[in-house]
Amino acid sequence: MSISIEHMGKVALVTGAGAGIGREIALWLAEAGAKVAVNDIRNEHADAVVAEITASGGEAIAVVADCREDDAIDEMVATTVAKLGGLDIAVNNIGMLPPGRGLKPFVDYRGDDWRDITDQNFTLAALCGRAEAEVMQAQGGGVILFVTSGETTRPSPYNSIYAASKAALNHLVTSMAVELGPDGIRVLAMAPGTTLTETVAAAFDEDRIAQIVASTPLRRMVEHDELARLAVFLTSDLARCITGQFILADAGAFLSRNRPSN
Ligand SMILES: NC(=O)c1ccc[n+]([C@@H]2O[C@H](COP(=O)([O-])OP(=O)(O)OC[C@H]3O[C@@H](n4cnc5c(N)ncnc54)[C@H](O)[C@@H]3O)[C@@H](O)[C@H]2O)c1
């Protein structure tokens, strides 16, 4: 018996794939054989990832779009299908605090904060999922994977809107899985622990990083490639009986009693 994970002939779309975790997921899906549509709002970042994939013998296209726009989402999905021949795997990865929306005490968050942060971390992912599911229903199956957060497993003081938005996605996965399962569509979330992407490195100083590492059972952060491997597994046939779940990948951080609060 041998085990291999491969996505040969599959078409994958990864949102926010120009940097960070999304970029790594796009690279690993391509390495596993998928043709990858690389979405980002920053065209030069999307193009660079496409160039990396093609340089190593893979197939990829850039689908530059601002996923806060409904029409842009529909066009991104339609372009993926038209240019790559379908949609088997969708990874909805965009998230984090939008520019100008930092950590705050709960009582200081105002309406625009709520709208911007939930748009970035819940609504746009849900709308991407809608457009992807419609195509997958017509096609006869697929996998939709949302990237949520370990912050959904514990209170997240001063980051309450972000955590609640990601928790809403974890729940959305359960409803989508029930509705879409009969169409052969699996719906999952993966919830990363702290991962030193450029965005996180810019936001956290050394002390903060050291505190997180010290309070995490495995005494480390999560690496980009570890999340990408998990995404490849969850979207593969090896995970074909798993749906409606969120999978925590946080080096045990959720078990910590002395994790620093934000
Ligand atoms: N890094 C962490 O520690 C961590 C921990 C838990 C969860 N997450 C989640 O993982 C995901 C990826 O995080 P990251 O740290 O890699 O983020 P990142 O900020 O490094 O990368 C996000 C990418 O998305 C793109 N993007 C942002 N808004 C967009 C839009 N409207 N349309 C299209 N593209 C857009 C950005 O240009 C960027 O390239 C997010 O959902 C985040 O909430 C990250």
Which residues approach ligand 1 with their CB closer than 6 A? 16, 18-22, 39-42, 45, 66-68, 93-96, 147, 149-150, 192, 194-195, 197-200
Q: How confident is the model at residue 257 (pLDDT cuts 50, 70, 90)?
A: confident
Task: Give the number of the atom of ligand 1 that is nearest the alpha carbon of residue 195.
Answer: 3
Q: How far apart are CA 168 and CA 114, in angstroms?
A: 14
> Any idea where the domains of the chain sit in the sequence?
11-249
Q: What contacts 130, CB < 8 A, 6 or more positions away?
A: none
pLDDT tens-digit series, residues 87-126: 999 999 999 999 999 899 999 999 999 999 999 999 999 9
Of 151, 162, 224, 232, which is the active-site residue? 162
Q: Is 162 a catalytic site residue?
A: yes
pLDDT of 163: 98
- List the beta bridge partners of residue 120: none
CATH 3.40.50.720 fits 11-249, yes or no: yes
* For residue 259, pLDDT beyond 80: no
Ligand 1 pocket test, candidate residues 49, 173, 197, 213, most atoms within 8 A of CB: 197
pLDDT of 95: 98
CA of 27: how far to CAs of 147, 151, 183, 193, 208, in Å?
16, 26, 28, 20, 29
pLDDT tens-digit series, residues 132-188: 999 999 999 999 999 999 999 999 999 999 999 999 999 999 999 999 999 999 999
Which amino acid is present at 34?
Answer: A
Task: Give the number of the atom of ligand 1 that is nearest the alpha carbon of residue 42.
Answer: 37
Residue 196 CA to ligand 1 center (angstroms) comes to 12
pLDDT of 260: 73
The structure's pTM equals: 0.98
CA angle 191, 171, 108 (to 5 degrees): 80
Q: Average pLDDT in the 207-219 region? A: 95
pLDDT of 4: 87
Average pLDDT along the chain: 96
